[in-house]
Amino acid sequence: MNISIFGAGAWGTALAIALADHHDVVLWGRDQQAMQDAAAKRENTLYLPGFPLPDTLRIADDFEQAVAHVTGSAGSAESLLIVASAVAGLRPLAQRLQAYPIPNIVWLCKGFEESSRLLPHQVVHEVLGHGIPHGALSGPSFAQEVAHGMPCALTIASHTPALCDTVVNAVHGRSIRVYSTDDLVGVEVGGAVKNILAIATGVVDGLGLGLNARAALITRGLAEITRLGMALGGRAETFMGLAGVGDLILTCTGDLSRNRRVGLGLAEGKDLDTIVTELGHVAEGVRCAQAVRALAADQGVDMPISNAVAAVLFDGDSPRDMVHRLLSRDPRGEAL
């Protein structure tokens, strides 16, 4: 199968490594010099150092070359276009793709667009319309482990069964297992909000508040994800799956989690700019915290943990203020 991956960050590069041994894969990134270096060194030293790029993986610094790989004479319904940018890069990339007869589009990004509060599929609809088969590939997946060939399970969410089949045919196998669903909203909300909750978990861990507190936060965080997701049209059972509780547990507890590291940095007293600079990667929980807080208010959805994280990030609350705010809430029943 011909596969073009647009976005050469850690996750895009890891997936390209995983797929290159049994598909014809092209990896494109917008930093032309970085792509030329990666092609010469056979390693993405900027975003995924230490992982050799397979000889079969083609590195492209030319956008049209990457598009032609899935739209030209060799392209077909069995070609696959994967966007591996951050959420902020999805709209500009989709705008560039407007000029081409792309067969489909699948994205890996997780979050809400900061300015519009839109989910990725809503951004794609605005730019490319509803006619192109599209979907989100999500689930608990650290790039480094996927690049190592360690086991991983993902979910493809799309309203187009044929696209789900294409993604399963492309990605499923070896060390990656792929499930499918038509609950695109649920999968995207789960992937977005868990990043905010991972920041909260990092704060709790960084303050040394213990495993009991971590477990409580993750559990009540899942309730927040479910409330917002159902308000936006998702199904409750989706949040019990890979794109919900699975991704939440991984991101909140794994040492490779960027969003958890943001929380750890906040607990140490570092300012947000310093934390983001030290990360060197995008932490989507920071970017979508404001959008989720505003969207929850518009929908009348109670999201105290997400709101408390936004207050620490943007309103000047301290991490201990966040914990006090959550613990001092009135008692209530445990139902959603």
Sorted by sequence, the CB contacts under 8 Å of residue 210 that are 6+ apart come out as none
Please return the burial class of 325, using the count of CB atoms within 10 Å of its CB with bins 0-12, 13-18 and 19+. middle
Q: Which residues pair with 156 in a beta bridge?
A: 137, 180
* DSSP string of 59-93, one letter each residue: EE--HHHHHHHHHSTT--TT-EEEE-S-HHHHHHH
* DSSP string of 197-221, one letter each residue: HHHHHHHHHHTT--HHHHHHHHHHH
Angle formed by the axes of helices 258-267 and 319-327, nearest 10°: 100
Strand arrangement of the beta sheet that strand 58-60 belongs to:
58-60, 24-28, 2-6, 80-83, 105-107, 134-138, 152-157, 176-181
CA dist 7 and 12 (Å) reads 6
Give catalytic status of residue 194 as yes or no: yes
CA dist 96 and 151 (Å) reads 34
Q: Where do runs of H (alpha helix) occur along 129-257?
A: 143-148, 161-171, 184-206, 211-231, 247-253
Sorted by sequence, the CB contacts under 8 Å of residue 196 that are 6+ apart come out as 259, 285, 288, 289, 292, 305, 306, 309, 310
Angle formed by the axes of helices 258-267 and 284-299, nearest 10°: 90
Angle formed by the axes of helices 184-206 and 284-299, nearest 10°: 120
Active-site option among 41, 110, 194, 270: 194
Q: Which residues are catalytic?
A: 194
